[in-house]
Chain A
Amino acid sequence: DTAVSQTPKYLVTQMGNDKSIKCEQNLGHDTMYWYKQDSKKFLKIMFSYNNKELIINETVPNRFSPKSPDKAHLNLHINSLELGDSAVYFCASSQDSRGDGTDTQYFGPGTRLTVL
């Protein structure tokens, strides 16, 4: 009965490759997020989707593109991977119909991406 799940858990790949991380939530939430936690442990938001519509798009390279096929899924595609993309990526969701972040966010287990 996992609430927010991500796949894969670990991803090791070469520079220049294109990869995807998948996220699914079974909580019936309206809003989903992608966060990046870097080596200094700062967790920063990258994207937020509310009912399949992009709400927040922080300053991230356009090599990162979120895709939301439906309300329960928010996948993260990364093109032309670079060394600096190595981090842990967390997906989260909240029951937040306004998309303004006032509801509790439930996080997935994280995907550790290592770019060689």
Chain B
Amino acid sequence: SQQGEEDPQALSIQEGENATMNCSYKTSINNLQWYRQNSGRGLVHLILIRSNEREKHSGRLRVTLDTSKKSSSLLITASRAADTASYFCAPEGGSEKLVFGKGTKLTVNP
């Protein structure tokens, strides 16, 4: 099944700084989604970017997609302590379902 691989596995920054996470995948996709998981909670959908889009914004989130490199990045600007969570990418193509990897664990220090 299609599975995204997030990088880095862990990221620790100070409040106010920007956080960048990357995702790579292997086969062609229809869209790619980013999810957040707070400790002990379920996944929360953040943003979806379609294969014909290169960049998308939602509040403090900016997602880019490079289908030629089969990669995506998630940028969180002006981070807050509440952004502390694990972030997962989910590439989706054809009939394959979302399969999540290990995610990037982001820690934002006050």
Contacts and interface: CB of A to CB of B under 8 A. Distances in A.
Interface of A: 4, 33, 35, 37, 40-45, 48, 56, 90, 92, 100-102, 104-110
Q: Main SS of the interface on chain A?
A: strand
Contacts of B94: 100
B43 A90 contact: yes
Interface of B: 1, 30-31, 33, 35, 40-45, 48, 86, 88, 92, 94-103
Residue of A37, A44, A90, A104 with most partner-chain B CB within 10 A: A104
A45 B98 contact: yes
A42 B33 CA distance: 16
B42 A56 contact: no
14 contacts: A41-B102, A42-B100, A42-B102, A43-B43, A44-B99, A45-B1, A45-B98, A48-B97, A90-B43, A100-B94, A100-B95, A101-B96, A102-B31, A110-B42
